[in-house]
Amino acid sequence: MEDFQIIDNCLMVKLPVEVDHHRASYICERADKYLLEENVEHVVFDFEDTRFMDSSGIGIIMGRYKKIACFGGKVYAIHADRQIQRILTISGLTKIVEVLA
Amino acid sequence: MKNEMELTFDAISNNESFARMAVAAFVSTLNPTLEELADIKTAVSEAVTNAIIHGYENICGYGKYGEVRPCFWPVNQGKVQLNCLLCEGVLHIEVKDEGKGIEDIAQAMEPLYTTKPQLNRSGMGFAFMEAFMDELEVESAPGKGTTVRMKKKIGTGAWIGSEE
Q: What is the CATH number of the domain that holds B62?
A: 3.30.565.10
Residue B163 within a domain = no
Q: Which amino acid is at B142?
A: P
Q: Which domain holds residue A67?
A: 3-100
Interface test with A, best of B13, B120, B160, B164 (most A CBs within 10 A): B120
A7-20 confidence digits (pLDDT tens):
999 999 999 999 99
What is the tally of structural domains in chain B? 1
The residue-averaged pLDDT of A40-58 equals 95
Look up the ipTM and state it. Answer: 0.89
B99-135 confidence digits (pLDDT tens):
999 999 999 999 999 999 888 899 999 999 999 999 9
Residue B147 within a domain = yes
Q: Which residue in A1, A18, A86, A44 sits closest to B124, CA to CA?
A: A86
What is the tally of structural domains in chain A? 1
Q: Which amino acid is at B40?
A: I
Contact A13, A31 (CB under 8 A): yes
Handedness of CA B5, B6, B11, B12 (dihedral sign): negative
For residue A20, the chain B residues in CB contact (below 8 A) are 13, 16-17, 45, 49
Residue B160 within a domain = no
Kindly give the pairing relationship between strand A75-78 and strand A97-100: parallel
pLDDT score, position B50: 96
Q: What is the CATH number of the domain that holds A70?
A: 3.30.750.24
Q: Which residue in B121, B138, B146 sits closest to A20, CA to CA?
A: B121
Dist. CA B60–CA B72, nearest whole Å: 8
Residue B28 within a domain = yes
pLDDT of A25 over the 90 cut: no
Helix (H), strand (E) at residue B140 = strand B135-141
A52-91 confidence digits (pLDDT tens):
999 999 999 999 999 999 989 999 999 999 999 999 999 9
Looking at every residue in chain A, the average pLDDT score rounds to 93
Residue B34 within a domain = yes
Does the distance separating the beta carbons of B122 and A59 come in below 8 Å? yes
Max Cα–Cα distance, chain B, nearest Å: 47
Max Cα–Cα distance, chain A, nearest Å: 34
Q: In chain B, which stretches have pLDDT less than 50? A: 158-164
Does the distance separating the beta carbons of A20 and B45 come in below 8 Å? yes
pLDDT score, position B164: 46
Tell me the backbone φ, ψ of residue A99, rounded to 5 degrees.
Answer: -95, 115
Does the distance separating the beta carbons of A29 and B46 come in below 8 Å? no
Total residues found in chain A within this entry: 101
Whether B125 contacts chain A with CB within 8 A: yes
Contact A64, A75 (CB under 8 A): yes
Dist. CA A20–CA B73, nearest whole Å: 19
Nearest to A21 among B35, B49, B131 (CB): B49
Q: Which domain holds residue B15?
A: 2-153
pLDDT score, position B71: 66
